[in-house]
Copies of this chain bind each other. A is one copy, B any other.
Amino acid sequence: MDKKTIGILGGGQLGRMVVEAASRLNINTVILDAPNAPAKQINAVSEHIDGSFTHYESIVKLAEKSDVLTVEIEHVDADALKRVKQKFPHIEIYPLPETIKLIQDKYLQKEHLIQHDIEVAESIPVLDNTEQALLEVGEKFGYPFMLKSRTLAYDGRGNFVVKSSDKVGEALEFLKDRPLYAEKWCPFVKELAVMVVRSLEGEVFAYPTVETIQQDNICHLVIAPARIPDTLAKKASILANNAVKSFPGCGIFGVEMFLLPNNELLVNEIAPRPHNSGHYTIDACVTSQFEAHVRAVAGLPMPKGFTEFSTTSTNAIMLNVLGDKDTADKELEICRRALETPHATVYLYGKTTRPGRKMGHINIVSSSMEDCENRLEYISGSTASLPASLTPKEQPLVSIIMGSDSDLPVMSVGANILKTFGVPFELTIVSAHRTPHRMAQYAIEAPKRGLKVIIAGAGGAAHLPGMVAAMTPLPVIGVPVKGSVLDGVDSLHSIVQMPRGIPVATVAINNSTNAALLAIRILGVFQPKWLNEMNQYMVNMEHEVLGKAEVLEDIGYEKYLTDKLKK
């Protein structure tokens, strides 16, 4: 796709996944890292450089074979990169060495963000590493506060929570000799993250806003999309875009954020490279974060929408696979359970196992988050056997309920329609007046059980459809059942005349056929299969009536009537 060769500083899993994306586009890559590093394993060129990405001479060797340089880790020698740029002016380096240098020092990064009006947690530099200096911080920020290393910190290494004034000694001991800054305690309710890819022209494209869940300071889970209101997710996305706009150059950036109890968002930190919180994009999004990065640094097209979820109904969970603490390769058990789980994909990085090391990750994708969660439960070993709900089966999509078995003759006609169409459904008795608690439970649990539409039939003072609609956000279709008096108008008005706020989709008296057909039309809104079948049904119906018309015209109305009477 492009004749440029991309040189990558660092050949860990991030580099490996960049190489995979580049290979799919016939774009050459060369890696600088230790021999047989994960990224080198999947690229059979002989040009790779064995060496360290913090070593100037090695970077020069890489540059000699590259048209573009990029990084999979920000802890490279940024000054060396600047010198390389001077030595090879024709080589492009993304992210810019200046950006890397700024981001490497987390305090400078914060100052930069503040200058660009990006909200961050309040911080102050610790100018000398003394107990006195920390006590002054404690006076200013109160306890607990965060003591953080300005450089070379990752996965929580380099952070210390100073819980009280008598812990400052311990904190200094833990982080001694490192350049430090202090951050006001941030009582966040969730950690969010947004991957953003920036083009050279400064256009930014945000991936969906996700939720990250840490365990022992290491990313454990990523939930996509974040389980927060839509407006908040959008706010996070804008904040991330603005943050990344502040860095010239191009490439992918990971923006980590805190969501505070008052719904405020603060940027925690930014990584100028592919990020663990973006691994879900491989399976859930149109373009993975790795390909997005390749496209950015190689100057390939980045159209609007290429960072979206693959389809509107995509939900995903990413689970990191860490080297087991006790038994080598025990983490493969998690992977095996993932392989046993539909809608889960395993990625292993070709690394030698070590306790706590990131060995791989697992992506779970489904049209429902609950489904993702159920699958995660099995994979992570919280449930011993694959729950029955996970083995694909015909789960009811539609439920038919009625106030009394006397409604069954009417309601069974609709059930037959669902059967003919092959719509999985359940049918039962739920009475508003005689089983009010069952009704409430049924209505509340319906969405969780995977039901999509409820058809409720009732007669007389017909409360069932409206009461169920009042306790579920699902669409409820009401069938007025005709009683012995009032011709069903009592039921009709009881069902259709709902107050503003709670709709019931009412069909004609006794017409459960139309209730079933309406349910199928509703399913068809997002499942084309049902839409097609409804189309076919309508065509057949038309043919049938046209056929009758033909016969009627053919044999005349008198014979037609006699024939019909005979039947």
Contacts and interface: CB of A to CB of B under 8 A. Distances in A.
Contacts of A286: 342-345, 365
Interface stretch (A94-102, A269-277, A501-509): A501-509
Nearest to A544: B501
A252 interface: no
Contacts of A306: 342-343
Q: Which of A476, A508, A536 has the most CB of B within 10 A?
A: A508
B507 A295 contact: no
Contacts of A521: 473-476, 503
B229 A536 contact: yes
A25 interface: yes
Contacts of A312: 313, 367, 526-527
Given A1-B348, A300-B339, 7 more contacts: A1-B332, A1-B339, A25-B335, A305-B392, A499-B508, A503-B511, A505-B505
B310 A283 contact: yes
Contacts of A505: 475, 477, 505-507, 518
A366 interface: yes
Interface in A491-534: 492, 496-509, 511, 513-515, 517-518, 521-529, 531-534
10 contacts: A24-B345, A44-B45, A291-B345, A300-B336, A301-B339, A470-B538, A473-B538, A501-B538, A503-B517, A526-B526
A391 interface: yes
A348 to B, nearest CB: 4
A341 interface: yes
A505 B508 CA distance: 9
Contact of A503 (B42, B295, B515): B515
Nearest to A452: B525
Nearest to A367: B311
Q: Most chain-B Cβ atoms within 10 A of its Cβ — which of A367, A391, A499?
A: A367
Given A305-B342, A514-B503, A315 B452 contact: no
A291 B343 CA distance: 13
A526 B527 contact: yes
A526 B367 contact: yes
A339 B295 contact: yes
Interface residues of A, number: 104
Contacts of A291: 345
Interface in A264-312: 283, 286-287, 291, 295, 300-301, 303-306, 308, 310-312
A217 interface: no
Contacts of A475: 505, 518, 521-522, 524-525
A392 B310 contact: no
A420 to B, nearest CB: 11
A387 B502 CA distance: 40
Contacts of A481: none
Nearest to A529: B230
Interface in A67-89: none
A346 B24 contact: yes
Contacts of A339: 1, 295, 300-301, 303
A313 B525 contact: no
Given A311-B311, A311-B313, A311-B365, A525 B522 contact: yes
Contacts of A20: 20, 23, 42
B315 A526 contact: no
A164 interface: no
B535 A473 contact: yes
Contacts of A528: 313, 315, 368-369
Which of A44, A341, A360 has the most chain B CB atoms inside 10 A of its CB? A44
A305 to B, nearest CB: 3
Interface string A535-548: 11010010000000
Contacts of A283: 310
The 7 closest A-B pairs by CB, nearest first: A505-B505, A305-B342, A503-B514, A526-B526, A473-B534, A503-B518, A26-B348
A514 B495 CA distance: 13
A311 B386 CA distance: 20
A491 B52 CA distance: 79
Interface in A320-362: 332, 335-336, 339-350, 360
Contacts of A368: 528
Given A304-B342, A343-B286, A453 B525 contact: yes
A315 to B, nearest CB: 7
